[in-house]
Amino acid sequence: MRIIFLRHGEAIERGSVDDEQRFLTERGKRDLESNLPALTAYLRNRNNVEIWSSPKIRAIETAQILTSGMENKDIRFKDFIGDGDTEQLKSELEKTGAETVVIVGHQPYLSEWVDELCDSEILFQKGAAAEIEYYPDSDQKGKVLWHFPLKGLKQLVRMMGPEVEGNSFRQDLMIKMEQNFNQIAENRNRFLSEPDDVESAHQLRVSIRSFRSLISLGKKYLKPEKYQDYQDQFRQAAAEISTLREIDVIINTWNEHLLDQKLDPSQSVLIQELNRKRNIEKDRVIKIVSKNKYIDRLTKSSDDLIKTIRKSSEQDVPTQKVIDARLDKWYQYILKRMINYNEFNFSYIHPIRLKCKKYRYVSENFYGILDPEHRKRHRDVKQLQTLLGNTCDAIRNQEAILKIIGLRSPALEQEVIAFINYEKEVESNYRKLFDSREWLQQISEKEN
């Protein structure tokens, strides 16, 4: 489902009346009346839209301006929006049958909710809005699709996707590329402001990989050498973060194992050395990612890519047709490879994992147009990717720990060997799971 968070417009100062009674200023009303019609138009052709509002006057007035151009002017007032109750928000979202929910509310709650649902930091100025893709029936984190200040909402006219105007695939792909690149820039800023947060580095890498999946979708619009150049540019940008991510995975793996064994991770010489290595690698990545040429090079590639796609003479087709066909092709590849599995080895499993990732990225970018069957497949592929990912990590971590740490002291050598033996045990367990073929049979049955 989609959620659009909208902060109320400019209101009279605090203290002049009770907070619940604060109303919009005349300037606040004018600014909303000038800019909210773009959001209204963005929503116009969507099915099953609900407008939820805080019961505070300034939010009600904002919601009324938004709905003034809609056929359905029904506004549902929710106390939890005014109170910032996160658990009630999740409960209400799970119960609603709406495909899109617009929530008109307040700071700091809107920022806190986006952070909770998406692990993304967004500051909502008065009248600002953001849309997220949210999966209430899944543990998967949501994804921020766009975020604009009030006077930037008119940009939504350029972003009207297939749910709104039935755009061609070329147009929808360019829109998704713009949105994804904005996410890369936002995740870069988040990493630079919070480099010790392991999720910030991970999300920057994921957003770059997601963009690369869109480049794959646009391959038919590009000359082979240009296609490869674009892929290489973004592959290299993601590769700069790979070792840092590798260290974070190893730290998390060993930390969890030690806790399971009732041991104190802070006393681990391996954890201490890994943290030291992480700080060195973190500083190296910051030095690279913080340079203007890092983001400028990607910006230039992104702009050139979109411009090339726009000018392509290749015949266009409907978005639904392209996405369904591509996902079906990838799903059949995944299914066939898993059914034909007969020997446990990294070189066989890893390509399936990569295809699962690509399937996920494209599904999540175009989730709004997926039918129930493709949404179900998305959940299945996500589960399979997690299993394959854990398996590949257990194998690769055994080599990575030696590359990153080595064997430089008796105490460290002892713990590194213990880590490798633990990962060998994990690998063995996954090997038994694969060789049993029970879960492979379940996947096959889903398609019969």
pLDDT attached to residue 438: 64
Q: What is the pLDDT of residues 151-164, one digit of tens each?
A: 878 777 656 544 43
Q: Are 55 and 79 in contact (CB under 8 A)?
A: yes
The stretch 279-287 carries a mean pLDDT of 97
For 399, residues 6+ apart whose C-beta sits below 8 A from its C-beta are none
- H-state helical runs in 340-436: 346-365, 372-404, 410-436
CA distances for 92 relative to 76, 88, 95, 134, 370, angstroms: 12, 6, 5, 13, 23
- Distance separating alpha carbons of residues 78 and 95, to the nearest angstrom: 14
Q: What is the pLDDT of residues 194-205, one digit of tens each?
A: 899 898 899 899
Q: What is the pLDDT of residues 242-268, one digit of tens each?
A: 999 999 999 999 999 999 999 999 999
pLDDT attached to residue 165: 39
- Distance separating alpha carbons of residues 234 and 409, to the nearest angstrom: 38
pLDDT attached to residue 245: 95
Q: Are 79 and 91 in contact (CB under 8 A)?
A: no
pLDDT attached to residue 109: 95
For 153, residues 6+ apart whose C-beta sits below 8 A from its C-beta are 35, 36, 38, 39, 129
- Distance separating alpha carbons of residues 122 and 144, to the nearest angstrom: 9
Report the first-to-last Cα separation within the chain, whole angstroms: 28
CATH homologous superfamily of 2-160: Phosphoglycerate mutase-like (3.40.50.1240)
pLDDT attached to residue 272: 95
- Distance separating alpha carbons of residues 235 and 209, to the nearest angstrom: 8
Q: What is the pLDDT of residues 377-403, one digit of tens each?
A: 888 898 888 888 999 999 999 999 999
Domain coordinates in residue numbering, the chain: 2-160, 164-243+279-316, 318-448
pTM of the model: 0.68
In this prediction, what percent of the chain has a pLDDT beyond 70?
95
Q: What is the pLDDT of residues 15-71, one digit of tens each?
A: 878 889 999 999 999 999 988 988 988 887 788 899 999 999 999 999 999 998 887
Q: Which two tokens stand for residue 334?
A: 């995944």
Q: Which two tokens stand for residue 184?
A: 């890369």
- Distance separating alpha carbons of residues 69 and 53, to the nearest angstrom: 17
CATH of domain 164-243+279-316: 1.20.120
